[in-house]
Homo-oligomer: A and B are copies of this chain.
């Protein structure tokens, strides 16, 4: 198995969509968990925080333990059920300027 890759990402969330977003991501909602697992995405957490300016942001962290990240992401992106999921969640989010979706962040520290 290839070395585990780790990703941190951030995106804004519309305050009027917070309840719906959380319901869609609750532990008892299947969502696209099976598709993400099939794409070798694991240990995936999303955190919510209201910032001092009043805006809400989501922070995502996940690990990839497959052998071909680009191929797995391409296969995931082509899945109709994933496209439907993104069509549901996408309009709830507020991407960073110039970003179509989650903003990938720069890692500055890691300790195993």
Tell me the minimal C-beta distance from A53 to chain B in angstroms.
7
Per DSSP, chain A at the interface is strand
0 or 1 for each of A36-48: is its CB under 8 Å from B? (1 = yes): 1100011111111
Interface size on A, residues (CB 8 A): 37
**Residues of chain B contacted by A109 (CB below 8 angstroms):** 25, 44-46
Count this chain's copies in the assembly: 2
Pair A107/B45 contact, Cβ less than 8 Å: yes
Quick check: is A100 within 8 A (CB to CB) of the other chain? no
- Asked if A47 meets B96 with Cβ closer than 8 Å, knowing A111-B42, A112-B42, the reply is no
Closest residue on chain B to residue A4 by CB atoms: B43
> Does B111 lie within 8 Å of A33, measured CB to CB?
yes
Which residue on B lies nearest to A111, using beta carbons? B44
**B61 contacts A105, C-beta separation under 8 Å:** no
Q: What residues of chain B lie closer than 8 Å to A61, measured between beta carbons? A: 8, 45, 61
Q: Are B46 and A108 in contact (CB under 8 A)?
A: yes
